[in-house]
Structure 1
Amino acid sequence: MIPAAVRPYLAELVRRARTVHGNQLLSVFAVGSLALGDYRPGRSDIDVTVIVAPDTPEKALHDLAAALAHPAFPCPAAGLELVVYDAEFAASATPEPGYLLNLNTGPLLPAVADFDSAGAPAFWYVIDRAVARQSGLPLFGRPVRDVLAAPRRPDLLTAVAASVDEHAAGAGHLTDNRVLNGCRAVLFCRTGRWVTKREAGRAIAAAEERFEPIVAAALRSFERPRSEAVALPWVQVDEFSAWVSRAVRRPPRNGPTTPEE
């Protein structure tokens, strides 16, 4: 399921992680668009989660960040988003950021190497862990479900609402991504499953006729590389975002549970 174009990069990423962490490296798995089967060059990031032993020294985390930094280790995607957790936190289902390292690096990402999760917005990490638990692709070590607990549904719904609010603010987000992220959030609240942004967009366009034009425009733009994305009409995007915000805050009565629950 991993595209051939990124397999050598992921294999080398795992090799470098093993060199740095040795026996303290427990598991590495791909998440995000790779896990959901919708990775596309020029648009997608490479998202990776790493689980290490609780007694991993901080120096090893700094060494890993240095070993994976672009351009010395060239990222073939828009960017690498890699998060490291210790095994005790990963197994806890705690709705906190909780990472030991949050690394963003690559040709289209601002470089970030953060070793302190205090004050970080939790929703990104709760959602990523939920996607990983459902669909994470193993690259090394123990299976995902052996090392990563499923977030509790109330915590996950809180995270989804926070994600919608952050995207609605618009800062740093392409308009097509704002719309399709909203589609995915609503579809999760309705079904309890994480799907690709394109699948979610098609489902919401079919179910919500009044929003079909803006969602269809977002889907067309999403087919382009990030650098060629189309700026969608802000009035329509804001109207759609307001509807999404309301929709994710009133999930169906006796709504679905995630498969892990």
Structure 2
Amino acid sequence: MIHTLEEPRAVPVEVRAYLAELVRRTGAVCGPRLVSVVAVGSLALGDYRHGRSDVDVTVVVDPSLPERSPRELASALAHPRLPCPAAGLELVVYPADRVAGPAAGAGYLLDLNTGALLPGKACFDATRSPSFWYVIDRSVAHQRGLTLYGRPAREAIAAPRRSDLLAAIRASLREHSDGEGHLADNRVLNGCRSVVFCRTGNWAAKRRAAREIAAAAAEFRPLVEAAVRSFERPRASALPLPAPEVRAFLAWAAERVDEAAGAAGS
């Protein structure tokens, strides 16, 4: 039997019915091999903005899941077959034995992006994907994941090793520095969140992390505050940010990650 959302009051009302149906359809495909369904990203960190944020979901399944099931699940959850009310759905399915320990690779069975504002993809070969986003998401899931069904996130998904996680954060900053495929405000705010994690060991919502960085690094305060103002607008009306300043900020953030990695290794 597929249960209703475990913590419904923590789920924004705009996506509550959608997530309940996502859990139901996932259970219908996976049956008793479904271990956990966990919200990550802005839903888990308490900073979901309707019309701007994606819905990020991690699914954990028994490793004996039939080979056809990931493709069936991708079809069952694809927008508009299941209309996504958020900007998009980013869903990753892992075998339970892969995420029970601190694995460093991508390791997924399905990586699905779908939605009105998100370029669609359904990938089934984890060896074709860079691993860093998956390592970061599993860290968020272990620390702050919002359990929608099944085993609690902290029990189902292990924390990555700190060295692997810092390497993943550094790789994410390199991608954001290139800028391709990412809004400028999101690049800056992810940089803020990365630095706050390195300093505190805790994942924070983007706007909370931005406040901390704006208070601590006065030279970047105007850029960070502009990124927050842009983030509070719909995606289609995001504000332009000065590219050289964004790159300079991300280079500064990368240095902070390198310092954390050096301290961890000493």
Instruction: Tell me which of 71, 88, 111 is aligned to 1:79.
Output: 88
1:62 and 2:71 matched: yes
Of 43, 47, 50 in structure 1, the residue corresponding to residue 52 of structure 2 is 43
* Structure 1 pair 252–166 and aligned structure 2 pair: CA distance change class (3 A): closer
- Taking the aligned partners of 1:244 and 1:253, their CA distance within structure 2 comes to 14
CA contact (8 A) 1:160 1:185 kept: yes
Q: What is the match of residue 3 of structure 2?
A: none
1:98 aligns with 2:107: yes
In 1, the alpha carbon distance for the partners of 2:19 and 2:125 equals 25
For residue 229 of structure 1, the aligned residue among 226, 238, 242 is 238
Name the counterpart of 2:17.
8
Q: Aligned partner of 1:39: which letter? A: Y
Q: Quick one: which of 226, 237, 242 aligns to 1:217?
A: 226
Residue from 137, 140, 158 that aligns with 2:149: 140
TM, length-normalised to structure 1: 0.95
> Is the contact between residue 74 and residue 122 of structure 2 (CA under 8 Å) also seen in structure 1?
yes
Listed one character per residue, the Cα deviations across residues 47-81 of structure 1 (whole Å, up to 9, x for unaligned) are 00101011111211111000000011100000000
Instruction: Name the SS of the counterpart of 1:26 in structure 2.
Output: strand
Is 1:119 matched with 2:119? no
The amino acid that maps onto 1:143 is: P
What is the CA-CA distance between 1:253 and the residue it aligns to? 7.1
Partner of residue 131 from structure 1, selected from 140, 143, 146? 140
- Match runs of 1:177-256 below 5 Å: 177-251=186-260
Counterpart Cα distance in 2 of 1:35 and 1:135: 6
Counterpart for residue 5 of structure 2: none
Deviations 1:160-211 (A, max 9, x none): 0000111000001111111111111111111111001101111000000111
1:203 aligned partner, one-letter code: E
- Runs of 4+ off more than 6 Å: none
Residue 237 of structure 2 aligns with an amino acid whose one-letter code is E
Question: How much does 1:244 deviate?
Answer: 1.3
| C-alpha distance in structure 2 between counterparts of 1:146 and 1:188, whole Å | 21
Q: CA deviation at 1:119?
A: 2.8
Contact 2:189 2:224 in 1 (8 A): yes
Query: Does residue 18 in structure 1 map to residue 27 in structure 2?
Result: yes
Contact 1:45 1:80 in 2 (8 A): yes
Q: Displacement, 1:20?
A: 0.6
Checking the alignment, whether the CA contact within 8 Å between 2:163 and 2:261 is kept in structure 1 is no
| Unaligned 5+ runs, structure 1 | 256-261
Contact 2:166 2:261 in 1 (8 A): no
Q: Quick check: 1:190–1:252 contact (8 Å CA) kept in 2?
A: no
- Judging changes above 3 Å, is the alpha-carbon distance between structure 1 residues 136 and 208 closer, same or farther for their aligned structure 2 residues? same
Q: Distance in 2 between matches of 1:118 and 1:165?
A: 20
The secondary structure found in structure 1 opposite 2:259 is coil
Compute the RMSD of aligned alpha carbons.
1.1
The residue type equivalent to 2:182 in the other structure is: H
- Which letter maps to 1:177? N
The unaligned stretches of length 5 or more in structure 2 are 1-9
